[in-house]
Amino acid sequence: MPEKAQIPFEFRSKRGKSERCFERGKIGRKTKKRDKSVRTTSTRIAGSHAESGRIGRHGPHADHFPQKQYEMAVKYYTDDCRYRYPQKRLTAQWLREVAQSEGYELGDVCYIFCSAQRLLEMNRQYLGHDYYTDVITFDYSDRKGTHIVSGDIFIDVETVADNARQYGATTLQEMRRVVVHGVLHLCGQNDKTPRTNAQMHRKEDKYLKFWEKQ
């Protein structure tokens, strides 16, 4: 695993028309205000692997959460919410195919489904951002060495549901988009610029079609 941590940076921009917000080179989009915060989309953090059950250099490792886990490369947790993600084993198989299509093998990937307040607190604590976001990814991948991608992906289920209503999708459709979005970040796909953002959306659409064919 890489030892040297990179500086955290904003990754995914929200689809649809909204006012862009530029902050120290980080690109986000302002949306609906709530409790003096602004809801945007995902953030990716690259860094060394956090120790099990402890707060690492940039964030909490998923083993910090005592909820039920599944003995496979892809694990699922909840934190401060009751969300149940369906078809977990089929999702794991799908994500392995996504990683392989991108030229990597899927390692340990943990999804933590949490409340809007929980992810807001993380955004404030680890990134110094005072707004809501749908997903934050902690990246522990070794793309240049073993070509194994690993990480912890925290998803705000409330923001995902809001986005689904805004874009005319079901909550589960939008959730699958966010789930594959996190793995694409682990595979090195950026979306910081208009060009890479368009690339990200094309890949999301492509791999969502993979899901539909399963």
For 94-112, how does the pLDDT look when each residue is reduced to its tens digit (9 = 90+)?
999 999 999 999 999 999 9
DSSP conformation letters of the chain: ---SPPPPEE-PPPSSS-EEEEETTEEEEE--EETTEE-B--EEEE-PPPPTTSB-SSSB-GGG--S---SSSEEEEEESS----S-HHHHHHHHHHHHHHTT-EEEEEEEEEE-HHHHHHHIIIII---S-BSEEEEE--BTTTT-EEEEEEEEEHHHHHHHHHHHT--HHHHHHHHHHHHHHHHTT---SSHHHHHHHHHHHHHHHHHHHH-
For 62-96, how does the pLDDT look when each residue is reduced to its tens digit (9 = 90+)?
555 444 443 448 999 999 999 999 999 999 999 99
Q: What is the structure's pLDDT at 51?
A: 28
Q: Please, what are the domains in the chain?
A: 9-213 (3.40.390.30)
Q: What is the structure's pLDDT at 63?
A: 54
For 119-144, how does the pLDDT look when each residue is reduced to its tens digit (9 = 90+)?
999 999 988 999 999 999 999 999 99
Beta strands 43-46 and 9-10 are: antiparallel
pTM exceeding 0.85: no
- Are 16 and 4 contacting, i.e. CB atoms less than 8 angstroms apart? no
